Chain A
Amino acid sequence: MKALEIKGLKKSFRSNFLIKKYRILKGIDLDVEKGEIYGFLGPNGAGKTTTIKCVLGLLFPDQGEILIDGKPAAGAGARSRIGFLPENPYFYDYLTARELLFFSASLFNLPAAAVHDRIAALIHQVGLSGHEDLKLRKFSKGMIQRLGLAQALVHDPDLLILDEPFSGLDPIGRKDLRTMILTLREQGKTIFFSSHILQDMEMMVDRVGIILNGSIRRQGRLSELISRSTQYYEVVCAHISEPVLTTIQANFACRDGQYVITLASDADINQVVESIIHNDGRIVSVNPVKMTLEDIFFNEMRDNQ
């Protein structure tokens, strides 16, 4: 059973009271396996937040089906096992961190006595120890983000939905959040997070869905998407003269005292390597150069235009 399944999701907005409608989601199909980190990648305005809001019942889809744990997402009960961190979260600034967490627990019908220890542990886990009784109006953006994660975890959810969790965080904050998300996966949680920051995505996700202009363009295991996309091969060698190298392969460049030969396919690798060795050269490395997630993303962007 999938943790989250979205089939044919469509959503439009009216720009004003006039008849004209703007279709934001044009048929989203995606599925999130249990226990994985799923990266929902797309540029600003692609429909990531709209999709998430449809899942959470904040927006009503025009068409399509959303299943959480195999059950329809409509209705408040379906959200009982979901933890959600909104983009740029804002919490009641007159509350303290501890008060906010107790309030969040009450929304899951959890009595204060039952979550007392969990809240204390969460405050420690997200690195807010010593700040639990500080009013939120005195919190920095990074601290709010950490608290946002804590309130999403207060009921020990199975599925975590994080909307742009890295936006606005400094490098330390991003690293801490990455570590926390990876730890949660180790604990068996399913994490669905949206982002337009490729680096974070590439470092963490098991599977990725690329959304562009309201449609899913690519979806799959990140390792498969990348391994299927070797662009070319590089043979790095040294202790060989340029004139000799020119006779072996014309397409090379000098980099840090070593020569880098670029081969379009793996068919010529053996012959090039043998020739270099035969001419007393030294092979430093042979590398398949694969597309990064960034390359895949920008290719899709280009195709979309």
Chain B
Amino acid sequence: MTMSMKGIACNTFRESARNKMFYLLVFFGILFALSSKLISFLTLGDAMKVLKDTGLAAINFFCVLIAVFTGINLVYKEIEKKTIFNILSKPVSRDQFIVGKFLGLALTMLTALAAMAGIFFVFVWIRGGGVDLKIILYFLMLFLELLVIVAISLLFSSFTTPILSFIFTVSLYLIGHVMWTFNEFKAILRVPFWKYFSQGLYYLLPNLDKFNIKNEVVLGTAINPWTTLFSVLYALAYILALLALTILIFRKREFQ
């Protein structure tokens, strides 16, 4: 990694950390504390199971929120406020700019996730639970999912407005969690074209459910290491493809 890429990554992280993320984290902390109190009143069964279920869902939700909002804004703001002139007029290639931005966003997500996971473990510990390796694996898989979301939002933010980026990214996120429906469509559809089209979308769109191992964590069932390894490789390949596409688009952009 060149020093300029490192500089862009650190500055991206600094921008995120000095803006919304802090407030979101505080909000998350309070919400989580409140929901934890509620759980103890409302739950009749396994309080720990419900605590994990609610806590992991909340972490997932807030991290995705941070990933989408930070990702869609960062490149767009650079162009809109013309701060990009100060970067690209220096010996920084457009490829380095995009990779630096992505790394900065990845660092932002890692910090947010680590902070939330820390709060989560403290609550679990207060309720008498311990650190489970499966939960750590859950956070690692969530981190990969967040990286894919960040790469998607970065792609859209490199050529369109934040509102459109938001719509596209959130749509892909939602579709990415119901990818199994494309297989069902394939079975239902009779026209070969639509069958292939549905199959094409299944392979093209991000299958984010591959990173979801919440059921295995909460219910305590076994995790298949090969499926997990495949998911990791899938995430890396998908991120690389998205970054390559973003770079190709960004290389052609002019800044008036």
Contacts and interface: CB of A to CB of B under 8 A. Distances in A.
Interface in B74-100: 81-83, 85-93, 96
Interface string A47-72: 00000010011111000000000000
Given A94-B19, A107-B91, A109-B91, A151 B3 contact: no
Interface string B5-24: 01110110011001100000
A174 to B, nearest CB: 22
Contact of A108 (B4, B8, B11): B4
Contact of A104 (B6, B15, B82, B90): B90
Given A56-B89, A76-B92, A111 B254 contact: no
B171 interface: no
Given A107-B4, A108-B4, A91 B254 contact: no
Interface string A83-98: 0101001111011000
A82 B3 contact: no
A109 B255 contact: no
B221 interface: no
B2 interface: yes
Contacts of A99: 14
A129 interface: no
Contacts of B224: none
Contact of B4 (A58, A60, A75, A109): A109
A76 B19 contact: no
Nearest to B94: A76
Given A92-B83, A111-B3, A58 B90 contact: no
B88 A80 contact: no
Given A86-B85, A92-B11, A94-B18, A107 B256 contact: no
B87 A107 contact: yes
Contact of A77 (B3, B81, B91, B256): B91
Contacts of B256: 13, 53, 59
Contacts of B82: 86, 90
B3 A106 contact: yes
Best-buried of B7, B14, B93 by chain A (most CB within 10 Å): B7
Contacts of B90: 79, 84, 104, 107-108
A104 B91 contact: no
Given A76-B92, A107-B91, A92 B15 contact: yes
Given A56-B89, A77-B91, A90 B7 contact: no
A75 B15 CA distance: 28
A75 B93 CA distance: 7
B4 A53 contact: no
B254 A109 contact: no
A13 B83 CA distance: 22
Contacts of A13: 256
Nearest to B17: A94
A151 B89 contact: no
A250 interface: no
A86 B2 contact: no
Given A95-B11, A104-B86, A109-B91, 16 more contacts: A53-B256, A56-B85, A58-B89, A60-B254, A76-B93, A79-B89, A79-B91, A86-B86, A90-B81, A91-B86, A99-B14, A103-B7, A106-B3, A107-B4, A107-B8, A110-B3
13 contacts: A53-B256, A58-B255, A59-B254, A59-B256, A90-B83, A95-B11, A103-B7, A104-B90, A106-B3, A107-B4, A107-B8, A111-B3, A151-B86
List 9 A-B pairs, minimum CB-CB distance, nearest first. A106-B7, A107-B90, A84-B89, A80-B91, A109-B3, A76-B93, A56-B89, A58-B255, A94-B18
Interface of A: 13, 53, 56-60, 75-80, 82, 84, 86, 89-92, 94-95, 99, 103-104, 106-111, 151
